[in-house]
Amino acid sequence: MFDQIIENLKKDAAPQLISKLGLDSGQADKSISAAADSVKEVLGGNHGFGLADITNLFSTAKNNSGADAIVSKLGTVLHGKLTGQAGLESGLAGRVKELLLPMVTEYVTKHVGGDAGKLTSLLGGLSGGAANLGDAAKSLIGGLFGKK
41-56 per-position pLDDT tens digit: 998 766 778 888 888 8
Question: What would the 3-class secondary structure string for the chain be?
Answer: CHHHHHHHHHHHHHHHHHHHHCCCHHHHHHHHHHHHHHHHHHHHCCCCCCHHHHHHHCCCCCCCHHHHHHHHHHHHHHHHHHHHCCCCCHHHHHHHHHHHHHHHHHHHHHHHCCCHHHHHHHHHHHCCCCCCHHHHHHHHHHHHCCCC
Give the pTM: 0.80
Q: How confident is the model at residue 123 (pLDDT cuts 50, 70, 90)?
A: confident
Q: State which of 19-28, 118-127, 133-142 shows the largest mean pLDDT.
A: 19-28
pLDDT value for 101: 96
Is the pLDDT score of 62 beyond 60? yes
Is the pLDDT score of 134 beyond 60? no
Is the pLDDT score of 121 beyond 50? yes
Is the pLDDT score of 36 beyond 90? yes
Q: How confident is the model at residue 146 (pLDDT cuts 50, 70, 90)?
A: very low
